[in-house]
Amino acid sequence: MTNLELFSAGEESKPALDYLFEKISEDLREKGLSINPFAVPTDIAQGLHDLACRLPGDAFKTAGIGRQSDYEVNQFVRNDNIAWIYGDDPVEQDWLGFSDALMRHLNRTLFLGLTSFESHFARYPAGHFYKRHLDAFKGHSNRKVSMVLYLNHNWTLDDGGELVIYKDDIDRNGIKVQPGFATLALFLSEDFPHEVLPASRQRLSVAGWFSVNSGIFPVC
């Protein structure tokens, strides 16, 4: 049975997922962000890790900023490489099943009206970064909730590469998230400026966004 079926079938892993989804929902309601170390089922995180590692080199493209007509590559802002997830591989389907179950939970508990989810693998070679930015601007984007899953085994403090989430435009301290294996970070896309610090080794993740009424298809 795939994880996708597990999400609807109510098997043993369901209480753990229910607990995770409820924690995320409460965190988002109270703080607007939710950090969950080692939270995603290991088979999904490991499957995504293995898939990212065996994707052909040309599957990853230099990431850009903006969407559709204002999309541009700016290597001073970000210089990671990305590969969009379309659900072609069974492990991608498991990931999309997990995300869909979470989206339904957030809609039920927080009435967010989320209608779609898009995500991509991101690979930051050592020394690469994504400077401080917002994922969405109020009134200009359908993205409401950002979600990042980290795929890095044996990550230590010395490896760097933290996600720094700032509480508002003037916050300069932020809170730091270690990109360790199966850690899941979520935050309200319009509310939290954030950045990815350079790491001393390659940093792998899946970044995704839950949106409302999205007719927008990812530009790549």
Ligand X SMILES: O=C(O)CCC(=O)C(=O)O
CA angle 126, 127, 133 (to 5 degrees): 120
Shortest distance, CB of residue 129 to Fe ion, whole angstroms? 12
Q: How far apart are CA 155 and CA 107, in angstroms?
A: 33
Q: Which is nearer to ligand X, 4 or 193 (CB)?
A: 193
Q: Does the protein bind Fe ion through residue 162 (CB under 5 A)?
A: no
Shortest distance, CB of residue 60 to ligand X, whole angstroms? 14
Shortest distance, CB of residue 164 to ligand X, whole angstroms? 9
Handedness of CA 17, 121, 157, 191 (dihedral sign): negative
Shortest distance, CB of residue 77 to ligand X, whole angstroms? 11
Choice from 80, 94, 118, 135 touching Fe ion (CB under 5 A): 135
Contacts of 68 (CB under 8 A, 6+ apart): 216, 219
Binding site for ligand X (CB under 6 A): 122, 130, 135, 148, 163, 194, 196, 205, 207
> Quick one: CA torsion of 212, 214, 217, 218, rounded to 10 degrees?
-20
Which residues are at the interface with Fe ion (CB under 5 A)?
A: 135
